[in-house]
Amino acid sequence: MLQVKNVTMRFGGLLAISDASLDVRQGSITGLIGPNGAGKTTLFAVIAGFLRPTQGQIALFDKDITGEEPHRRAASGIARTFQIVQPFAGLNVQENITVGAYLRHTKPADAVEKAREVARQVGLEKDLDKSASSLTVAGRKRLELARALATEPKILLLDEVLAGLNPSEIRDIIPVIRSIRDSGVTILMIEHVMQAVMNLCEHVYVLAQGKMIAEGTPAAVCNDQAVIEAYLGKGSAERLARQSQGENHA
């Protein structure tokens, strides 16, 4: 469905992404993980059209969209959430979601109905009249998710939608994400919460220092030596391996 082909992104002398590729199968939940500063959000910005890659290609359903503006990609079915949640503070929850719904529904009544439908899907139906600024962190995360979902995307890019949530809030939102996929929306998600990655993702890509260093099932990726080194550093990874070998011998 989505293909990222050999994407490189430079900012002057800084190489943020280097020859990165990934494929997202339609109907899947695919994970993109990696240490802080790996380039994950930059890659999302390239996919969504907020940045033009220095090299490489983005394709949606085999159509090259590398040169398309973000609003064109939204119309084609790409929506994204942002790591730092910024709702329209002067609007209530329903109005915030309705902003997204206007992409497909020009009549206000239709847009409001779509907003209410999405609010039910993400668990915000009881908060429609609340000011967006009054929501908890978990509520704002759900609102960010709803606003993107209201655009009726074919593929949804989730940028750390679970960041800042406590364990019970994470447990509550995992079924919501799964239900979005089950409704026909393909998902590509950046996530640091490995519990969620293991529970949700069928295939995972690992980005470190701008390069794809591994891909596979969550279990295979978590046991990959290059991935462990990327997160812990080579010395810590080697100590962990020696400790594991010692326990196995014992």
SS3 203: strand
pLDDT at 149: 97
pLDDT at 238: 59
**Residue 149 CB neighbour total at 10 angstroms:** 25
Distance CA 235, CA 229 (A): 8
pLDDT at 227: 87
Strand partners, 92: 131
**Residue 66 CB neighbour total at 10 angstroms:** 15
pLDDT at 84: 87
Maximum Cα–Cα distance across the chain? 70
Please classify residue 44 by burial: count the beta carbons closer than 10 Å to its beta carbon, then call 0-12 exposed, 13-18 middle and 19+ buried.
buried
Q: What is the mean pLDDT of each run of 10 residues along the chain (250 residues)?
A: 97 95 97 92 96 97 96 96 90 96 96 97 96 94 96 96 91 94 96 88 94 93 86 61 55
The token duo for 157 is: 């890019």
Where are the strands (E) in 61-176, listed by range?
Answer: 63-64, 78-80, 155-159
The token duo for 202 is: 């069928």
pLDDT at 234: 63
b/e per residue 108-132 (b: at least 16 CB within 10 A): eeebbebbbebbebbbbeebbeeeb
Question: Where exactly are the structural domains of the chain?
Answer: 85-152
pLDDT at 195: 83
pLDDT at 158: 96
pLDDT at 210: 94
The token duo for 125 is: 């139906």
**Residue 14 CB neighbour total at 10 angstroms:** 8
